[in-house]
Structure 1
Amino acid sequence: MPRTVILGVIGSDAHVVGITILEQALSAAGFEVVNLGVQTSQADFVGAAKSHDAEAVLVSSLYGHARQDCEGFHDRLAEAGVDVPTYVGGNLAVGQDDFESTREQFREMGFDRVFDAETDPEEAIAALRRDLKITTTEGEQVRVDG
């Protein structure tokens, strides 16, 4: 049974390419993806997570204003009774030159994983599998013969 994840671009951001690539990668990895698209409100993320019984929420932002757009996001999730891993990624801060500082800010806001815009989708998928305790079954293992 595929695991359901919510994906979207938060706030007024209209950048769609990143979530399209991520949606394709997640789907190919066996996840059921509910793509909310661009310019998605916090309420829409929360509502989708609740109505789809999602196991994770992935928030994207590329226009540099993610901090403002994500302020209070985890309070809304908690109020709705949604307790799932949350990921945020992209170009999260205007003029960000020290991503570790940005990562720490978003971790303090409650995000479990924080990725920069250069992150390979496979890295996020591997983290998601670890967080959801998804193991590879023998049937899924790839044989490598020399």
Structure 2
Amino acid sequence: MTKTVILGVIGSDAHVVGITILERAFEAAGFDVVNLGVQTSQQDFADAAIDHDAEAVLVSSLYGHAKQDCEGFHELLLEEGLEDVTTYIGGNLAVGQDDFEETRRFFRNLGFDRVFDSETDPEEAIEALQADLDMRSSEDERERKTIEA
């Protein structure tokens, strides 16, 4: 079964090259990719995840204002019933980003499952998502078996 991912650039960011590369890489890896493009609102990500029954939402930002753009994002996903959707963010996430570990902690505290810097190879993100979704599938199977028993 093909897994669906939602991909887009959040907020007022208009950097399209990175998500185009990611779209092609994830499609080549066998994912069904819905590319929302640039300047995507939080609500657009949530709506697309619902409409396409997505397993993951991949947020990109290169202009350095992702901290502001992502405030409240996971609260919105919870309100929309998307608590089981895996969420990733990557790019140049903060202006003057000197200590990426600090930036990673910030976004993990916001609720993102994984945080990548702008130098991350798409294959690394693909391998991480395959592992995360396989793990989640295994958990879902165990849960269904427990409920059936």
Structure 1 length-normalised TM: 0.91
Output the CA distance in 1 between the equivalents of 2:8 and 2:29.
Answer: 18
**Secondary structure of 2:134 counterpart:** coil
> What amino acid sits opposite 2:107 in the alignment?
F
Correspondence for 1:130:
131
* Runs of 4+ with deviation above 3 angstroms: none
Q: The residue matched to 1:25 in structure 2 has which SS?
A: helix
Shift of 1:2: 1.1
Identity of aligned residues (%): 77
CA deviation profile, 1:83-138 (whole Å, cap 9, x unmatched): 2110000000000010000000000000000000000000000000010017xxxx
In the alignment, structure 1 residue 15 sits paired with structure 2 residue 15: yes
1:121 aligns with 2:117: no
C-alpha deviations, 1:14-58, integer Å up to 9, x for none? Answer: 000000000000000000000000000000000000110000000
Q: CA RMSD in A?
A: 0.7
Give runs of aligned pairs for residues 1-146 of structure 1, distance below 5 A.
Answer: 1-83=1-83, 84-133=85-134
Q: Find the residue that maps to 1:133 and give its secondary structure.
A: helix
Higher helix content, 1 or 2? 2
Q: Which residue of 2 is the match for residue 140 of structure 1?
A: none
CA distance in 1, matches of 2:94, 2:64: 4
Q: Secondary structure at the match of 1:64?
A: coil
| TM-score relative to the length of structure 2 | 0.89
The answer for unaligned runs of 5 or more in structure 1 is 135-146
